[in-house]
Amino acid sequence: MCDIPDDHCDLDSNMIVAVLVGDIAKSPRYKIKDCIIAVLKVYHKTISRRKAYLGNRRAHEIVYGNWQGSFKTLPRYTEALQHFNPSTVVEWKLGVPGNIFEFVFWAFKPCIDGSAHCRPVISIDREHMYGVYNIKLLIAVGMDANGSIFALAFAIAANESTNT
């Protein structure tokens, strides 16, 4: 295999990814230290945290796709929402220069109908989606008569503003 000591032999990144793909498919939150241990068990070699991180990231792309692929399938996803949930409201907004994505909003018909039975306070929460695009997932919720949280609408926005 290698004429230098085991600790200094380089593993090809494809070899690392091949070990991690199965584990990442089972558990998307597979930790970096678990990646290092998995490679150690298979190849009896210790890899750096950086190699484990890069292998983990590449395995995620293989199993779940990448950012560009996700955005390309978003229109198809919203069409499926409307097809399988008739009367679902979907609204897109693209910016003028080059059709830059601004936001997509959707609300399911049962959520729209159920909002009439909620208390008159709506809360909006957001989750920052860090990555290539730095977007936000926005969720509007109300409280139903039983005091439970009731989802009203969802949006993915490029920025937080009055318009979005």
Domains of the chain by residue range: 6-64, 67-157
Query: What does pTM read for this prediction?
Result: 0.62
Please determine, for residue 80, whether its predicted confidence score (pLDDT) is greater than 80: yes
Mean pLDDT of the chain: 84
DSSP state of 120: S
Best-predicted range by mean pLDDT (88-97, 111-120, 131-140)? 111-120
Mean pLDDT of all residues in 129-146? 84
Residues 6 or more apart whose CB falls under 8 angstroms from that of 159 comprise 102, 136
Query: What is the reported pLDDT for 161?
Result: 64
Name the phi and psi angles at 103, rounded to 5.
-165, 160
Q: Is the separation of the CB atoms in 95 and 72 below 8 Å?
A: no
pLDDT tens track for 100-111: 778 889 999 999
pLDDT tens track for 27-39: 888 999 999 999 9
pLDDT band at 83 (very low <50, low <70, confident <90, very high): very high
In angstroms, rounded to a whole number, what is the distance separating the alpha carbons of residues 113 and 5? 68
- Centre a 10 Å sphere on the Cβ of residue 65 and count the other Cβ atoms it contains: 12
